[in-house]
Structure 1
Amino acid sequence: MTTTTVGHATSHVRTLTQVTDYAEAERLVDRLSDAGFPVERVRIVGIDVYSVEQVTGRLTNVRAALTGAVAGALLGVAAGLLFALFTTGVGWLALVAGGALVGATWGGALGFVTHWSTAGRRDFSSVRNLKAMRYAVQVESTHADDAVHILGLP
């Protein structure tokens, strides 16, 4: 049994089982939910957590500018649509197009300058994720026996 303090409240938790796949831990919690178990008393804890960074490609000044331009254009379209709510007639289209153009221009410039200022220290793009070697499905001790029964655990 583990004692955990969150804020001022202290609760005792019991590990029901450990699995090596997060999807399996989700399935166990889903089974508890389907049985009407108070799943707000359950938690999934990653054990032996590590970071994985997948490199997705080379990052050049041009690519940084293009990525910034796309993000800026999307933000500009959103701003244009917001302003268009207060416009009558076909003027809304000019607001959306203008927003996209201004957003793309500023986003591209910002993307270019931001990457250029790193002086080549990070010339690649990547996606970071946290992974765990295994996952513990835990439940507050007062509800542990019910959870064990529902899941058919020893």
Structure 2
Amino acid sequence: MQAASSVMPLKYPMSVAVYPTYADAQRAVDHLADNDFPVQDLCIVGTDLKQVERVLGRRSWGRVLAEGAMSGFGTGLFFGLMMMVFMPALGATSAFSLGLLMGIGMGVITAGMAYAASGGRRDFSSVQAIVATRYEVLGEHTVVNRARQMLGQNPVAQPAPTQWPPTPSDPQEHA
């Protein structure tokens, strides 16, 4: 994991504005860029993170084995091509078909073993994501007031008086 300072190289970031969507924050930065603002002194940060898990459906033996066959199909294509190259005596069609069957078989067996080992826990499939519920435009302390003024001309902007992280009373003393 990267240190925050390498991802967000601002020395004393302060909040410029907070938006409900990433698109709104992006439009605000674009507005500043269109008006010759030094956007290299800004960052967009997703805040109030939440983990969301979307349940896609129930898992059954048939579905698990079908998914295993699908995942084994790609491996089987690779095996088939390798067998065609390294076992020309089998014939191209036979070598390719055998490799494809091996891959699909391995996918079905692996998926079946994993499902059986789960013992009925999590009999559903899902996808997970980490999402932000707010997006904050941060700026270097030296440009924040100008950015807030410029965004005040933009109806999308909601200037924020807060700062994150808190800056020292005299930024020059840390320079």
Same fold at TM > 0.5 = yes
The CA RMSD over aligned residues, in Å, is 3.6
The one-letter code sitting in structure 1 at the alignment partner of 2:46 is G
Identity of aligned residues (%): 32
> C-alpha displacement at 1:139, in angstroms?
3.0
Asked if the contact 2:32–2:151 (Cα under 8 Å) also holds between the matched residues in 1, the reply is no
1:152 and 2:137 correspond:
no
> C-alpha displacement at 1:126, in angstroms?
0.7
More strand by share: 1
1:141 equivalent in structure 2: 141
> C-alpha displacement at 1:78, in angstroms?
4.2
Asked if the contact 1:66–1:111 (Cα under 8 Å) also holds between the matched residues in 2, the reply is no
Secondary structure of the corresponding residue to residue 121 of structure 1: coil
1:6 equivalent in structure 2: 5
> C-alpha displacement at 1:26, in angstroms?
3.1
Which of structures 1 and 2 has the bigger CA Rg? 2
Q: Alpha-carbon deviations, 1:47-73, whole Å to 9, x = none?
A: 221111111100112211211210111
The one-letter code sitting in structure 2 at the alignment partner of 1:105 is G
Secondary structure of the corresponding residue to residue 151 of structure 2: coil
5+ residue gaps in structure 2? 153-175
Kindly tell me the number of residue pairs found equivalent between the two proteins. 145
Q: Alpha-carbon deviations, 1:77-104, whole Å to 9, x = none?
A: 24545x48967x9x66655544432221
The one-letter code sitting in structure 2 at the alignment partner of 1:17 is A
1:112 equivalent in structure 2: 112
C-alpha separation in 2, matches of 1:16 and 1:95: 63
2:53 equivalent in structure 1: 53
Q: Which moved more, 1:53-62 or 1:34-43?
A: 34-43
The one-letter code sitting in structure 1 at the alignment partner of 2:24 is E
TM-score in terms of structure 1 length: 0.70
> C-alpha displacement at 1:43, in angstroms?
2.7
C-alpha separation in 1, matches of 2:128 and 2:142: 37
The one-letter code sitting in structure 2 at the alignment partner of 1:48 is D
1:123 and 2:157 correspond:
no
1:132 and 2:132 correspond:
yes
5+ residue gaps in structure 1? none
The one-letter code sitting in structure 2 at the alignment partner of 1:103 is G
Change (3 A) 1:5 1:133: closer
1:102 equivalent in structure 2: 102
C-alpha separation in 2, matches of 1:74 and 1:38: 48
